[in-house]
Amino acid sequence: MFNRIHHIAIICSDYEKSKDFYVNKLGFTILAEVYRAERKSYKLDLAVNGFYQIELFSFENPPARPSGPEAQGLRHLAFEVDNIKLETGRLSDQGIVSEAIRIDEFTGKRFTFFADPDGLPLELYEA
C-alpha cells in the first residue's frame, strides 16, 4: 500500500542556475547538498513548505528531454498555493513569467503554468 509521494527527482542542465531558481526564486529550503565525485554530480535535497519533496541532480552532458505539457513522460509538476494572484506576482517579481490564470473546468479552482530553467512545466494550483 502506498502512503504518499516521497519525492520527485529532477535532472538539470545547469546546476547553479537551477539551484538558484528552486532555492532563491521559488523559496524551497535546502536540506542537504552532496557532491558525488565518482559521478561528477550534485544531489540537492529540497523541502517544499517543510516537507522533503524534491531531489535536484546534475550530471555531465545529460541528454535533452522533450518538454511541454503534451510530451510523453512526466507532464508537469504542480504546487498547491493559497493565493494564486499573490504567488504569480511573487514569481513575476523574480523575473519568472507565468501563463494567464485559468479555471479548472472540473473543480472550479484557479491554476497557471510557468517553467523551470530547463523548460520543465511547473503549475500553481490554488487550494
> What is the CATH class of 1-61?
alpha beta
User: Given CA atoms 112, 74, 28, 48 in this order, what sign does their dihedral have?
Assistant: positive
Average of per-residue pLDDT values in the chain: 91
What pLDDT is attached to residue 3? 74
Q: Are 110 and 39 in contact (CB under 8 A)?
A: no
pLDDT tens digits along 25-40: 999 999 999 999 999 9
The domain spans of the chain are 1-61, 75-127
- Look up cell 504569480; give the residue: 88
The C-alpha cell that represents 45 in the structure block: 535535497
Assign 116 a pLDDT band (cuts: 50, 70, 90): very high
What pLDDT is attached to residue 73? 73
pTM score: 0.85
pLDDT tens digits along 82-108: 999 999 999 999 999 999 999 999 999
Assign 69 a pLDDT band (cuts: 50, 70, 90): low
Average pLDDT estimate for 43-56: 94
DSSP annotation of 115: E
Fold of 75-127: 2,3-Dihydroxybiphenyl 1,2-Dioxygenase; domain 1 (3.10.180)
Q: Do 1-61 and 75-127 come out as alike in CATH topology?
A: yes
Q: Is 109 helix (H, G, I), strand (E, B) or coil?
A: coil
The phi-psi region of residue 12 (left if phi > 0; otherwise alpha if psi is between -120 and 50; otherwise beta) is beta
